[in-house]
Amino acid sequence: MSEMQEYDVIVLGAGPVGQSVAARARAGGLSVAVVERELVGGECSYWGCIPSKALLRPVIAVADAHHVDGAREAVNGPLDTAKVFGRRDRYVTNWDDSGQANWVKNIGADLFRGHARLVGARRVEVETPGVGVVVLTCRHAVAVCTGSTAALPDIAGIEKARAWTNRKATDSSDIPARLVIVGGGGIAVEMATAWHGLGSRVTLLARDSGILPRMEPFVGELVARGLTDAGVTVRTGVSVTELRRLEIEGPLWVSLDDESELEVDAILFAIGRTPNTADIGLQTVGLDPGTWLDVDDTCVVRGVDGDWLYAMGDANHRALLTHQGKYQARMAGEAIVARAAGRQLDTAPWGAHVATADSHAVPQVFFTDPEAASVGLTAAEADRRGHHVQVVDVSIGDTVPGAYLYADGYGGQARMVVDLDDGHLLGATFVGAGVAELLQSATIAIAGRVPVQRLWHAVPCFPTISEVWLRLLEALRDTPSTSTQNGRA
């Protein structure tokens, strides 16, 4: 066992979240150790956001061309899949993390490769390949940024099915002739879009909750219609009960609870995530291994004395999105630096130190055809929370010139949820081609609690899809405010 090494901050996990908190701590003058058991850059860089969007972009680009007269005639034949996979490989640097490892070192943090476990308060042991156990202690904080892993169902035949998760779905260069995807969330619909575009015959199976159930109901309807129109088979209200592969290299039989069967070549489960906290020593500080970590708004883990243990990103389950985890890391990093210097947290001039936007202003985009984007509360969520709201819907393609110039026969919808008591937005949702870039304006309006009356002075350019904001405001003005009470007409 090597000599004990002491740092101000120890970060468990070198993905985007761990890197963000490490950078903030170093910028504040604190010494930092970063521990990573796999690739520096984490799930997002190598098996999540980056490779999935690299695969999706060529598929969506072709779909966009097919929506425009004159352009569709120029698009002939299938995608060059070798080049698509090559593009993906470039963006994940061929799963070589040396560049990101150098970044960690260049900010002045020390990188330890190996598996880290807590062994009591402020103390971490790292099993390092070829070196043995390294003992690290911290003066101020241990930040758990270990992320999450795809969940697999406990059903008969799962062990022999060689089931895909997001990892295989984003790092494979072999195209299954027939792919079944189980799930109705973001990963499921994006991978259905990507792999259908790459040449698989895709069947998407979702339970009773349907497609993108956490967004406004019309989102799932429009995305499911887009997938169906493209050639994906979408089935809702069904569950997988058994998997059977009769031969090692033979087809996979998928049994469903409606007593039907599917013969496929591969199956992808996108049914949820589990926290990577089962083997990081939580029991040594009085917490249950394998659980999501409950945190306050500075990301301090509740139930541990001394306010030294933090958890950011997927590990705390507040919002399982990379951008939200990085946001939490920025806020928590500022809090760690302030506490280390003995400063009060309420003195930050720009509202740092406290992560609150992950409870009321969470943006999310799914890169399907059409795209789906939302931020804040849905109408149903606002209703459940007791807000007095007005819900305004606009058909984008029918009312926005920039939309039907963007794509012939543009189909899309927008919704705005307005708090009538406070006069600001609670939520906004957009479905349609190119709507992802509308979302930041909505996020600013919600996070900044901008009065709706001021939004009239944020003039959208003509002719752009962003003119939907003007249509939404006009619809709000022209609809009597008494017509909606708690989200209901």
Please report which confidence band the pLDDT of residue 125 belongs to, taking 50, 70 and 90 as the band edges.
Answer: very high
Residue 100, phi-psi category: left (phi > 0), alpha (psi -120 to 50), beta (remainder): alpha
The answer to whether 362 and 319 are in contact (CB under 8 A) is: yes
Residue 324, phi-psi category: left (phi > 0), alpha (psi -120 to 50), beta (remainder): alpha
CB count in 10 Å sphere of residue 228: 12
**Angstrom distances, CA of residue 374 to CA of 61, 75, 428, 450:** 22, 31, 6, 17
For tokens 């083997």, the residue is: 279
The answer to whether 378 and 443 are in contact (CB under 8 A) is: no
- Single pTM value for the model: 0.94
Q: How far apart are CA 258 and CA 268, in angstroms?
A: 20
With a CB cutoff of 8 Å and minimum separation 6, the contacts of 82 are: none
pLDDT for the residue 489: 37
pLDDT at 485 over 70: no
- Provide mean pLDDT across the span 53-74: 96
As beta bridge partners, residue 450 has none
- The model's pLDDT over 218-235, given as tens digits with 9 standing for 90+, comes to 999 999 999 999 999 999
SS3 341: coil
Least confident of 102-106, 312-316, 358-362, 391-395: 358-362
In terms of Cβ atoms closer than 10 Å to its own Cβ (0-12, 13-18, 19+), residue 145 is: buried
Q: How far apart are CA 396 and CA 409, in angstroms?
A: 11
Q: Taking the CA atoms of 350, 456, 358 and 11 in sequence, report the sign of the dihedral they define.
A: negative
The answer to whether 487 and 427 are in contact (CB under 8 A) is: no
Map out the domains of the chain with their CATH numbers. 5-41+97-149+275-357 (3.50.50.60), 151-271 (3.50.50.60), 370-483 (3.30.390.30)
Least confident of 21-25, 236-240, 344-348, 477-481: 344-348
Q: How far apart are CA 355 and CA 299, in angstroms?
A: 8
As beta bridge partners, residue 148 has 275
Dihedrals φ, ψ of 412, to 5°? -175, 165
Please report which confidence band the pLDDT of residue 47 belongs to, taking 50, 70 and 90 as the band edges.
Answer: very high
- The model's pLDDT over 366-414, given as tens digits with 9 standing for 90+, comes to 999 999 999 999 999 999 999 999 999 999 999 999 999 999 999 999 9
- Provide mean pLDDT across the span 48-76: 96
**Angstrom distances, CA of residue 420 to CA of 6, 32, 94, 333:** 53, 47, 51, 36
Q: Where are the alpha helices (DSSP H) in 407-482?
A: 439-447, 452-455, 468-478
Residue 212: DSSP 8-state: S
- The model's pLDDT over 330-370, given as tens digits with 9 standing for 90+, comes to 999 999 999 999 887 765 555 667 888 888 899 999 999 99
The answer to whether 374 and 364 are in contact (CB under 8 A) is: yes
- Provide mean pLDDT across the span 4-27: 97
The DSSP result for 260-306, as a single string, is -EEEESEEEE-S-EEES-TTS-GGGGT--TTSPPPB-TT-BBTTSTT
Q: How far apart are CA 212 and CA 232, in angstroms?
A: 16
- The separation between CA 445 and the C-alpha centre of its own chain, rounded to angstroms, equals 21
Q: How far apart are CA 185 and CA 183, in angstroms?
A: 6
The answer to whether 399 and 471 are in contact (CB under 8 A) is: yes
Please report which confidence band the pLDDT of residue 449 belongs to, taking 50, 70 and 90 as the band edges.
Answer: very high
